[in-house]
Structure 1
């Protein structure tokens, strides 16, 4: 297979891949520690066989529960299950052109069409395995870096397949502006699955013979999806083992099948650092403190004993258990042959330290906001909690929108458009914008609504309703609030419909003045 000229030669690709994995090894110890204490069952950084015990070093489960609840809360607030957490809207430039009459369609028609396209996109997302895989992706994000792969299947009913990719065996290359552009992956695949996993795979003679003779045999595979800046496209390539040939290539167009997000990032580093890494020192200390506490409890329960070397008592033949007779030289209370060693029994100080560290870990992973077993909270308390969460996750939410959520929508839209299931969308052009409607995004919009509400109330109380009508476009408040709240376009009146209602109200008022009768209750008076 011949590679595009912009990609270079296979030697160039192997050199880039090797350099990317060399940088990735710098993180191995850090990630090994993080996964060992937070997600031991997902820790692939230490060599182990399938089904091996990975919890033997864990003495406290606070970190395990905290990161799972944190991932659930992250998913609940940025990409809730079976909901439409984003919508497509005309851009501000399109709205301006519409206002100036440069289009033959109305804004309502455009919004209605985009609503339909949004429904199609999220219908396929919600019917796929997105919810389960995004949860695993969120677990990795809280460590620092999470990677999703979005593949296309032949089944029209379920054409999209999401896969949360473990961080072991994957490396990245950044673009000039700090975004992850190129992905490399090394892993093992059964030879019988090569042609199924990569459509158009062309095996070498050696691999073809192995497929026939040993289909269950595993081979090392190196896969890359490289961004070509001149062509503005993502190009996939693959080679098997140490072969000097490309066995598979594919042009993915402007959307990459790989989506990698970083919770937060330090300048000069490609991988991200999440709240779990910040809480890791507390987790290590807590685990050791809990281990010592359990050892102390075992000593207090079972006891430690001293035995006099009197030639009668043999400590190697003694078994301390109910109903056992122990031969001793003396039972004198002042000088017994066997005496229990006083080790003290004050566990209050260690328990205080343990409780303090447990709360710090829960706070780092957003587990301190609500107690599910507590009293039922009012809507106001829930709204305050959402705003508090928005403040704590706000900075990371902006990065996750850019690096995770928007690429997911772009990739899904690209697949559906290619399959003829969706109208072509220009997500990078001036025509369409993505507005997020997840609970966390709504919390930010709620702040805007609250600020406007306070401003209007202040003017009403201090200057009166006349000044409020003069100072604010009260007739546009309903539309603005509807946009902030994410209401469907069909429930919001268009400017023409609002004008018709105003005119009808004016006519009723005029008729009332002509007849000398006031307008009926419920009719608009202007």
Structure 2
């Protein structure tokens, strides 16, 4: 029995106990949106068959549709596949270093979306909308190259933080492997003898493992051995309390953002939690409406036992003859149901759910095409709605994602050699996603308004144009719009271009002056010749 394995198992159990108080809430949020994604929470085992019964109990799909729409909006707003959403830059670096960083950012972005990020990222965003947090594991694809992304089920993960800012840097994941998979993953010499025996006799027998990732107290920043890296990684066999792999990471390999943190803990809750009371009420209202609909369709009857008609055995239906003593022996009975009340309540609850989950603003608006002003106002509204969420996601999701991917690519030697000016320089990640770009549109709008006002004032006083640095204004607009750095000329290139243009203008002016001087000289010579001819003729006369 390994002493370190026992210590890690105890910590895993302690983290699981801290998480159990929240599991019932997350499971309930999944039950009203995507029941199958909540499998494993509170010990509930779900498969496609058992989840089907839960889906059948959902009588209204407003919450599910709103969750899907918000997850899609987060995915397309933060990490779109059709537009570069990240850049690397620094204010103090020269243009050649900025160009190198821009090329590196483009390469990282291309490789992220060339991998399976778009598929795993969308499912991860569904988790953050429903449960309020997600776990996305990032590593190198050791077989085919490039990146590999895995969305780990929340029921398997327990997280914690040792940082002052509360960002998650500790994760324990409990998962299962068959004996054959364990042999292939860890090697026959690392697994327990019972697993080797099971691989020969029962290869499909499942065994439970724990993957523990946490920061080391002592590490080497330039270390190459896995045991010296900043984050420790241990895979251990739970049943036999045996460590099957010891490794490490340069960066924390998981992104664990929270929609809204639960006070005093490392977990979060999502917008479905806020809409949960309306979801329950809407489902109950639909259930009562279904019951009233059954009565409205089939009807309700009152019958009298008149000696011929037996109300206990009579059955109402098409092509049935009911024998009674009188036509008054059986009459339809008014139910007293009012469907207008149900419809009004449903519309109110559905609108409330869409508003809480921002689906009423994120979905395309019906009606005629919007004007440019309407589009600008709607973008500003969406920015206000998602701005606070985007701020947290930038620190807890995008920053670790880019840092991890950049580190993997740098150590793999994918980038071209860096310029000397970048040695020992600091640079930061800039996000140019649609949400980040929307937050920067205020600068673009302000510059455009300033340009229009300066143009009007220039008609009165031309010197007012000197107040505006047009080169810097153009660069600010280009950065806000996400223009690639290679499109904008460097300061040296602009200086050389203007110097060449100035020299060409000077040469043109010199040629024009020389031509004008030659013309004047030719005219003067013609006048002298004319005067001499006139004097000669007068002398002859």
Residues 355/61 of structure 1: CA separation in 2 closer, same or farther (3 Å cut): same
Worse overlay, 13-22 or 228-237: 228-237
Question: Does residue 12 in structure 1 map to residue 10 in structure 2?
Answer: no
Residues in 1 aligned to 2:247 and 2:374: alpha-carbon distance in whole angstroms: 51
| SS of aligned partner of 2:134 | strand
Worse overlay, 44-53 or 286-295: 44-53
Q: Which residue of 1 aligns with 2:341?
A: 349
Residues 39/49 of structure 1: CA separation in 2 closer, same or farther (3 Å cut): closer
In the TM superposition, what are the counterparts of 1:208-287 in structure 2 within 5 Å? 208-231=196-219, 233-253=230-250, 255-287=251-283
**Which of 359, 364, 377 pairs up with 1:367?**
359
Q: 1:173-225 deviations in whole A, cap 9, x for unaligned?
A: 11232110111112222121124445798101111111111110111222211
| SS of aligned partner of 1:146 | coil
Q: Which residue of 2 aligns with 1:403?
A: 396
Q: Which residue of 1 aligns with 2:539?
A: none
CA contact (8 A) 2:36 2:46 kept: no
Residues in 2 aligned to 1:197 and 1:423: alpha-carbon distance in whole angstroms: 33
| SS of aligned partner of 1:180 | coil
Q: Which residue of 1 aligns with 2:369?
A: 376
Residues in 1 aligned to 2:60 and 2:432: alpha-carbon distance in whole angstroms: 37
Q: 1:491-525 deviations in whole A, cap 9, x for unaligned?
A: 112212322344455556667877589xxxxxxxx
Question: Does residue 183 in structure 1 map to residue 171 in structure 2?
Answer: yes
| SS of aligned partner of 2:88 | strand
Residues in 2 aligned to 1:108 and 1:200: alpha-carbon distance in whole angstroms: 53
CA contact (8 A) 1:456 1:468 kept: no
Question: Does residue 154 in structure 1 map to residue 152 in structure 2?
Answer: no
Question: Does residue 416 in structure 1 map to residue 409 in structure 2?
Answer: yes
Residues in 1 aligned to 2:439 and 2:260: alpha-carbon distance in whole angstroms: 20
Residues in 2 aligned to 1:430 and 1:201: alpha-carbon distance in whole angstroms: 45
Q: Which residue of 1 aligns with 2:102?
A: 115
Residues in 1 aligned to 2:374 and 2:64: alpha-carbon distance in whole angstroms: 28
Shift of 1:312: 3.6
CA contact (8 A) 2:443 2:477 kept: no
Residues 506/292 of structure 1: CA separation in 2 closer, same or farther (3 Å cut): same
Question: Does residue 448 in structure 1 map to residue 406 in structure 2?
Answer: no
State the structure with more CA Rg: 2
Residues in 2 aligned to 1:19 and 1:424: alpha-carbon distance in whole angstroms: 47
| SS of aligned partner of 1:224 | strand
Shift of 1:322: 0.9
CA contact (8 A) 1:226 1:235 kept: yes
Q: Which residue of 1 aligns with 2:529?
A: none
Residues in 2 aligned to 1:423 and 1:273: alpha-carbon distance in whole angstroms: 43
Q: Which residue of 1 aligns with 2:313?
A: 317
Shift of 1:242: 2.9
Normalising by structure 1, report the TM-score.
0.86
Shift of 1:346: 2.5
Residues in 1 aligned to 2:461 and 2:188: alpha-carbon distance in whole angstroms: 70
| SS of aligned partner of 2:360 | coil
CA contact (8 A) 1:82 1:126 kept: no
| SS of aligned partner of 1:187 | strand
Q: Which residue of 1 aligns with 2:480?
A: 484
Shift of 1:457: 3.6
CA contact (8 A) 2:188 2:196 kept: no
Q: Note the residue ranges of structure 2 that are not aligned, 5 or more in a row.
A: 220-228, 515-541
CA contact (8 A) 1:413 1:422 kept: no
Residues in 2 aligned to 1:500 and 1:199: alpha-carbon distance in whole angstroms: 62
CA contact (8 A) 1:460 1:467 kept: no
Residues in 1 aligned to 2:183 and 2:427: alpha-carbon distance in whole angstroms: 38
Q: Note the residue ranges of structure 1 that are not aligned, 5 or more in a row.
A: 3-7, 96-106, 518-526
| SS of aligned partner of 2:317 | coil
CA RMSD of aligned residues (A): 2.8
Residues 196/361 of structure 1: CA separation in 2 closer, same or farther (3 Å cut): farther
Q: Which residue of 2 aligns with 1:62?
A: 62
Normalising by structure 2, report the TM-score.
0.83
| SS of aligned partner of 2:95 | helix
Question: Does residue 164 in structure 1 map to residue 164 in structure 2?
Answer: no
| SS of aligned partner of 1:292 | helix
Residues 474/160 of structure 1: CA separation in 2 closer, same or farther (3 Å cut): closer
Residues in 2 aligned to 1:268 and 1:326: alpha-carbon distance in whole angstroms: 69
Q: Which residue of 1 aligns with 2:537?
A: none
| SS of aligned partner of 2:260 | coil
| SS of aligned partner of 1:9 | helix
| SS of aligned partner of 1:382 | helix
Residues in 1 aligned to 2:284 and 2:344: alpha-carbon distance in whole angstroms: 14
Q: Which residue of 2 aligns with 1:37?
A: 32
Worse overlay, 322-331 or 124-133: 322-331
Residues in 2 aligned to 1:32 and 1:261: alpha-carbon distance in whole angstroms: 19
**Which of 288, 307, 311 pairs up with 1:292?**
288
Shift of 1:259: 1.4
Residues 516/393 of structure 1: CA separation in 2 closer, same or farther (3 Å cut): farther
CA contact (8 A) 2:447 2:473 kept: no
Q: 1:127-163 deviations in whole A, cap 9, x for unaligned?
A: 111101111011111121011112332224x432212
| SS of aligned partner of 1:145 | coil
**Which of 51, 56, 60 pairs up with 2:49?**
51
